[in-house]
Structure 1
Amino acid sequence: MNNGLDDVVATETVMSDVDGLAGRLIIRGHSLDDLAGRHSYEEVVALLLAGFFEDLPAERDLAARLGSARAEVFEALVPASTRLGHPTVTEALRAAMAPLADGEDLATALRLIAAPAVLVPALIRQRRGQPPVAPDAGAGHAADILRMRHDRMAAPEAAAALDTYLVTVSDHGLNASTFTARVVASTHAGLVSASLAALSALKGPLHGGAPGPVLDMLDGIGAPEQAEAWLEASLDKGERLMGFGHRVYRVRDPRAEALKRSVRALVAGGEQTEGRLALAEAVEAAATRILARRKPDRPLQINVEFYTALLLEALGFPRESFTGVFAMGRLAGWIGHAREQTLYGRLIRPQSRYVGPRPEQAA
């Protein structure tokens, strides 16, 4: 029995391959280095959904249909979503998406991908007493998300940074939320059910909730020269350093480097302060040294969450919305996995080993 299913192969997939030893991520035959910053999120959506829908259009037409889906979601879901009293953005997002009709068709898939892109900005604005901003169906997906968040056109470097983020987190092997999506899809429950179940798994702090605490850590450290002492004291108390280590990667998370480049571009464009980046780089360097000394048998380098925190902060997303923004990118991956499971897989039904008491045998 392998608690946590480490190293257990549960399915075969064409979606993505995570090579933890080499620090390499392949998505539908393309390395992350080839995709991030070079291909738009709409292009990657087309890549992830290829072969799973008979009526999947060409990339340009797919981008137009995704824009139309944003408009549909705004009209259908935003009025009710801004009246939800849920305590967190993620819980409100889950409730707001629930009225979507379940299905296995492309229209359902595109509405699901559009939903967090439209709802998260609306929910953030509602919590600040601001009215929601309707989408521009003709705009690029990332640029439109930022326009709906801030009610103004996004700077090109900001739109490019968010686009890179969405691509970077679009799929990542059989992680907890993706496995959840496949389990639900294996029952033929529908794409909405599979996606909402995946979102519920993503909500857990051990999966999608760490970028916010990275910023809490940086705020606590305050200045580069205080990094070493703060980190040592934190480890002495048995605390975990947020944004370091990964269940699969034994070397540097390749997604972290792609996002670090985007944060540097935001600094150059004035969207991110040099001081914040300098602090993060000092913390990264100090933590890497300290962890290598204290835990020489456990490779603990930065993961995707470390520079995600800086990027989303610079783009104006509050910490409590980070899980919802993650879902903006991951929805396409969840849907691809769900369709693959529905089309080619079986009902997922593993066995368990009973270790509880047994009734006494009759004499």
Structure 2
Amino acid sequence: MANQFEVVLEVGGEGGSITLYGVSSENGWRFSRTTEESALGDIADRPTDSLVRKSKVVDSWEEALQLVQRYPWYRLSPRKVHPDFAAKVWKEVVNRLDWMDHGRDLNRWSRVCFGDGGALGELSLLMKKSQSTVILTGAGMSTESDIPDFRSKDGWWRNIDPTTVATVDALKENYSLFHEFYQMRIENLESRVPSGGHYILAKWEEQGLIDCVATQNVDGFHQAAGSKEVYELHGSIRTIRCHDCQSPASIDEFVAGDRCSQCGGKLRPNLVLFGELLPRDAWERALAAIRQADLVVVIGSSLQVSPVNTLPSLTSGKVAIINAEETEQDEMFDIVIHGKAGEVLPKLDEVLG
């Protein structure tokens, strides 16, 4: 059975409606258009005495746009947008409607295109307007790389009490458990690679859309994906030091259970354990960037860990959050998008073009 034409774009107004249809095949999409001009000036009830005009069938999106360009379709009320063309339609609308004059219209278009209350479209506009954007990432960023999240409802903390493992007391009093836990985490990283979201953030930095990434994650995936300006607020599991004399050591030495070659002290990953202070340099650089930012976007963080959870409130700019689950701080954000980073970021990247 031949594929049927689907609605790609439908808009309406007092004078009629415009519908762009498309049909997908192994050779790509083909498009056609109808316009319905109502003699009564009100198309809500679809009056019978209306004039319907049809177009030819064309074979490309560029030609499809030409079919509707003679009409001010972007000024009409959006009724339906095909998900496969949401980003394309959105970009066409944004190119034609100025946010200052048509903010309400753009929000309506965003809601129809993305079905998220207009949040994705609004965030894309804020990112384009912002002169300084800071990204703050949490564990939800790395779960896309199959790194377990400690604090989600399915996280490791359900099975392992952090107060017995990720502490200085454990390092001193129960080093075998401490070593086994972090050895497992290090070995788990060996077969993991950055997710698509990590690469998107690196691309945004290169394009000048974001200034830096401040992260709670210790896996180093942001740098591995190509991000240059990364502030590791909780340190890094990819470097090792002696707990006693602070001398650097290799990961192989730690995994093997060796002692410090300088003083014989216990080796540990160069990350923040519970009760320890955050790295001063990373914290101060992240704080300075956030305070002067026009936009701060939190990605994949439940914002349960202090003091990092205070950072979004310290900016005078706009704040947005992308997280799979609701957080206790959702109400403080100007834009809230509930979804996995691996699903939302590719959509946002497409919208940004």
The bucket for the TM-score relative to the shorter chain is under 0.3
The TM-score, its normalising length taken from structure 1, stands at 0.26
The TM-score, its normalising length taken from structure 2, stands at 0.27
Would you tell me which structure has more helix in proportion to its own residues? Answer: 1
Q: Which one has the largest radius of gyration?
A: 2
Would you tell me which structure has more strand in proportion to its own residues? Answer: 2
